[in-house]
Chains A and B, each alone.
Chain A
Amino acid sequence: MKSEILYPGAFPMVRVELEAGENIKAESGAMVACSPTIDIESKMEGGFLGALSRKFLTGEKFFFQTLRATRGPGEALLAPTVPGEIVILELDGVNDYMVQKDGFLAGAEGIVIENKMQGLSRGLLGGEGFFILNISGKGMLVLNSFGAIHKIELKPNQEYIVDNSHLVAWSSTTSYNIEKATSGWVASFTSGEGFVCRFRGPGLVFIQSRNPGSFGAWIRQFIPVSE
């Protein structure tokens, strides 16, 4: 399986080359185009209950699609719904990532996707909701973001502060606490940041350069209000 990011920037696509018999799972609706040798199957990852809980708990799609090169090698083009960058990670079975609910685009066969419940303060204030995806296993993992993706590398005990709802994915070796952006409660909200996540290394944190919630609020003012 080989992969390549086409048109890097705001509107990228991923081209995945599959050998005969190989398959890749992708977010439902992610397939843009593919070779005629590839079959598209709809699959409820983790069984019906797993899919149901993913749908209701994380807001991810109920079905994943599986693209399988059943009739010989071929390629598939995949793209996310929102404008924003794509990043390809290689999982080796030891490093696993927490991914916020909209971050997953595609993953190789050996990738395991599970729902994970966050603690109360992280769930309420972290901006990712109570349930996130815990992605582990072996193989390629494709993530997408809203805006550009920025990688933060943290050494052991190195700290970094990220505004909530800018998170895309982070390694499970990092840890984070939710705190107020400034020392006072009022200033914390008037500064426009509210709560922030203080990350502590080691590990990687991927953040997105735009905040989907704020963008939604901004665009709402231009939508005409009909009855």
Chain B
Amino acid sequence: MTTMSPNALCFGDEFPAAGAPCLVQVEEHGLTITFASDPADGQPESVPYSSLAVSAGGLDHDQLVVKWAGEKGERTLYLKNPDVIRAFRETVPSHLSLPFAQAAEQVRQVRHRRRLVWSLAGGMILSTVLGLWFGSDILVEIAVSRIPVEWEQKLGESAYRDFLSHQEVMKEGPAVAALGEMTQRMTAQILDNPYKFEVTVVKSDVVNAFALPGGYVVVFTGLMKKAESGEEVAGVLSHELNHVLQRHGLERIVKSLGIMTVAAIVFGNQQGLVGMMKQLGVELFTLKFGREQETEADLKGLQLLQRAKIDPAGMITFFERLSEKDEGRMEWLSTHPMNAARADRLKAELAALPKKSPEPFTFDWKQVQVSLGSQPVVAP
């Protein structure tokens, strides 16, 4: 045998401490061990089964340890090659089968215990995270109710100023006046309003509008060009105002902060907390409101329109129209998924509300749109 590939390590007094690599062959009468180190007197050593003792050992208790008293002192063999172990197990005589089974049982127990510990630890982490994510609504509400409005305004304002500094803001004109009138009519109907709403028109073809915590609302001219009446814009505005009134943005922030804190505790990343605070500013713009929050803003928005004597049908028609058309990119829809169920719910809600005769706006919507540089919208 010129080239042999060892499959086990043999330990004994005359061997190095790292063990002597050797080739173990399983035969009928016992084990034959050929050492790699001395091919000159490479007489294979035969050990009968009767003199062997087996157990489990090694770092993870996953190796088969075979011991016997050799001519030159005690020998210990560490086997981990599955083929050899299987062959050994199949030919093993009856007196060894019990210790063999015990060794196998030991390996199983170690693995089982390890799996158990890990699944317990994993389960605890998972349930903490899940608990915070799903079962935390009450905690979040308590936390949010304890945050003063001033804080909320500061938080929203810094993000708002930062956003506007990169945008072309429309300071005056019919569009600004029209939005001002809508805001005024609606806010007059909000009881105990702690917010001073600030609505800004930003020149951009993006069909979108968003609200930041603290009462900062941005409406893009793209959305105003798309709307066929002032009532439709008022519908979107009412929806956004109610995100602010219900403190939805704050709820999301508190929730994601909670998750981040748990993550930071679990993974021990202290740097992450700092980066997280910085990212929060960016986060405000990408905040996706949860489904429940959207529904709440829809329904409350509808009621607000009703109280302000603005025709609530505009809200529904605008939503429907946006969802039907797939021309262009409807940014507002990407964060406000529109579906039939949502429109139907609004219609049902509208039917349940007491009928009020709407009062028209003082501005002419077509003129507002012309002032934005848009051709009067032709119905498709």
Question: Which of B18, B21, B80, B114 gathers most chain A CB within 10 Å?
Answer: B18
Complex contact A173–B6 (CB within 8 A): no
Residues of B within 8 A of A100 (CB): none
Complex contact B59–A120 (CB within 8 A): no
Residues of B within 8 A of A8 (CB): none
Instruction: Pick from B8, B63, B118: contact of A120, CB below 8 A.
Output: B118
Q: Is residue B101 within 8 Å, beta carbon to beta carbon, of the partner chain?
A: no
CB within 8 Å of B: which of A61-94?
Answer: 92-94
Q: Is residue A55 within 8 Å, beta carbon to beta carbon, of the partner chain?
A: no
A-B contact count (CB 8 A): 70
Per-residue interface assignment for chain B, residues 323 to 366, with 1 indicating a CB less than 8 Å from any chain A CB and 0 otherwise: 00000000000000000000000000000000000000000000
Report how many residues on chain B are interfacial, defined by Cβ distance under 8 Å.
Answer: 28
Are A94 and B8 CB-contacts (below 8 A) given A202-B17, A203-B18?
Answer: yes
Complex contact A93–B6 (CB within 8 A): yes
Residues of A within 8 A of B114 (CB): 119-120
Per-residue interface assignment for chain B, residues 1 to 36, with 1 indicating a CB less than 8 Å from any chain A CB and 0 otherwise: 000011111010100111101000000000000001
Report how many residues on chain A are interfacial, defined by Cβ distance under 8 Å.
Answer: 22
Per-residue interface assignment for chain B, residues 112 to 137, with 1 indicating a CB less than 8 Å from any chain A CB and 0 otherwise: 00100110010000000000000000
Complex contact A175–B61 (CB within 8 A): yes
Chain B: which residue is nearest A174 at the CB level? B59
Chain A: which residue is nearest B78 at the CB level? A173
Chain A: which residue is nearest B6 at the CB level? A94
Instruction: Pick from A94, A120, A203: contact of B17, CB below 8 A.
Output: A203
Q: Is residue B70 within 8 Å, beta carbon to beta carbon, of the partner chain?
A: no
Complex Cα distance, B80 from A171, in Å, reads: 13
Q: Is residue A95 within 8 Å, beta carbon to beta carbon, of the partner chain?
A: yes
Complex contact B74–A175 (CB within 8 A): no
Complex contact A156–B5 (CB within 8 A): no
Complex Cα distance, B60 from A92, in Å, reads: 21
Are A155 and B11 CB-contacts (below 8 A) given A119-B114, A173-B57?
Answer: yes
8 closest A-B pairs by beta carbon, nearest first, are: A153-B17, A202-B11, A156-B76, A94-B21, A94-B6, A173-B78, A120-B117, A92-B21
Q: Could you jot down 11 A-B contacts, CB within 8 Å?
A: A92-B6, A93-B21, A95-B21, A98-B59, A120-B118, A153-B17, A154-B17, A155-B11, A173-B57, A202-B76, A203-B17
